[in-house]
Amino acid sequence: MGRGSLRVYLGAAPGVGKTYDMLAEGQRRAGRGTDVVIAFMEDYGRPLTRQMAKGLETVPRRTMPYRECVFTEMDLDAVLARRPQVALVDELAHTNVPGSRHRKRWQDIDDLLNAGIDVISTVNIQHLESLNDVVEHITGVKQRETVPDDVVRGADQIELVDMSAEALRRRMVHGNVYPQEKAEQALANYFRAGNLTALRELALLWAADRVEEALLRYRHDHGIQQPWSTRERVLVALSGGPEGDTLIRRAKRTASRGAGGEFLAVHVEPDDSLASRSSRLPDRQRALVDELGGTLHVITGNDTPRAILDFAREVNASQILIGATRRSRLHRLFSRGIGEIVIEGSGDDIDVHVVTHAEAAHGRLLHRRSGTTDATA
């Protein structure tokens, strides 16, 4: 039997409806004849959530004493013995009571998946390990329970449960998330409109990146070479020359014109046998790419235009920015520049922009002084 599949409902904050949607999916599958059980679910006294769980078989929890208190956890052994087709397991980032087989619930879920059981689970964006510091900075609350990003990223399906800050706060006011006395305190602290809006943006951006990863995998698996312009992705080619600062800033402005746009910088270095100190990208330009929110990619290759085009198609770039030539007129008479070759090879699916800059006007002088391989147009 193969490994089971994992489906995760991701939300920005408690109360957006992750557990409800998990149960609703369980009801849909059970209605189609699939063997579904609730392995662990917290309804926190919410009537609608409790109502959605009705009719689904629940595996009894395991009772565990700890420090003179009694806790209940998912009974992993009982779920494995029951061997359902689908197990609903709430709160992916939960930390188990000491004495459990695993420290974290996501490790329990991994055992279920390895046993061939499909799992549907839930998690809030603030519990992702990589965002722990960001969430603390926004909300002032440090999350003690986290899950490695790779666990969620490795899910076969990620469903974003989205809700505006205003709608979630209305749910709070109506007592649909917490009891009234607790809701008032929550609305004045963690559930302030600004906090919820920032958490929602984090969730939307994180989910969008996962969708982009899935798209890139699909294109790779199906041998699709031409870019699919689902968002504006600008690639700026940097030679290491002084015009790089201008190109980086122009790439940032170009990417910012479209919703969700991003920019990447690529620098092609010759193979080690041909590399020279002058062919390296200046630290100043590396820092500028990072400062403006781009990503830098240094690749090797002796055919610079081909390397740029191959990389552009690999990352699904919609535009390429390249600097106007710094080569002298004499050199242009006897050979084509990189920009010309990139334009010729870009086809109909990538727009190529040749950006003028101050250094281009003095190409003859700069070319004589630099002694470098010219990576501008």
Categorize the per-residue pLDDT at 364 as very low, low, confident or very high, splitting at 50, 70 and 90.
very low
pLDDT of residue 220: 67
Report the phi/psi class of residue 33: left, alpha or beta, with left for phi > 0 and alpha for psi in -120 to 50.
left
Contact criterion met (CB below 8 Å) for 207 and 149: no
What residues does CATH 3.40.50.620 cover in the chain?
A: 233-370
Cα–Cα nearest to 83, from 41, 33, 37, 40:
37
| CATH 3.40.50.620, applies to 233-370 | yes
pLDDT of residue 365: 34
B/e letters for 93-127, b = 16+ CB within 10 Å, e = fewer, are bbebbeebeeebbbebbbebbeeebbbbbbbbbbb
Q: Give residue-wise pLDDT tens across range 281-330.
A: 889 999 999 999 899 999 988 889 999 999 998 888 889 999 886 554 54
pLDDT of residue 97: 94
Any idea which residue has 């059981």 for tokens? 117
Q: Which fold has domain 6-221?
A: Rossmann fold (3.40.50)
Nearest 5 degrees, angle CA 321-CA 325-CA 328? 175
More confident residue, 348 or 335: 348
Q: Give residue-wise pLDDT tens across range 213-229.
A: 666 666 667 676 665 55
What Å distances lie between residue 25 and 22, 52, 152, CA to CA? 5, 10, 18
Categorize the per-residue pLDDT at 340 as very low, low, confident or very high, splitting at 50, 70 and 90.
confident
Cα–Cα nearest to 97, from 149, 134, 126, 62:
62
Torsion angle defined by CA atoms of residues 358, 360, 364 and 367, in that order, rounded to the nearest 10 degrees: 100
Where does residue 8 rank: exposed (0-12), middle (13-18), buried (19+ CB within 10 A)?
Answer: buried
What is the distance between the alpha carbons of residues 100 and 40, in angstroms, rounded to a whole number?
A: 15
pLDDT of residue 264: 93
What residues does CATH 3.40.50.300 cover in the chain?
A: 6-221
Categorize the per-residue pLDDT at 333 as very low, low, confident or very high, splitting at 50, 70 and 90.
very low
Contact criterion met (CB below 8 Å) for 71 and 92: no
pTM of the complete model: 0.63
Categorize the per-residue pLDDT at 170 as very low, low, confident or very high, splitting at 50, 70 and 90.
very high
Torsion angle defined by CA atoms of residues 9, 14, 12 and 39, in that order, rounded to the nearest 10 degrees: -20
* Single-letter residue type at 306: R
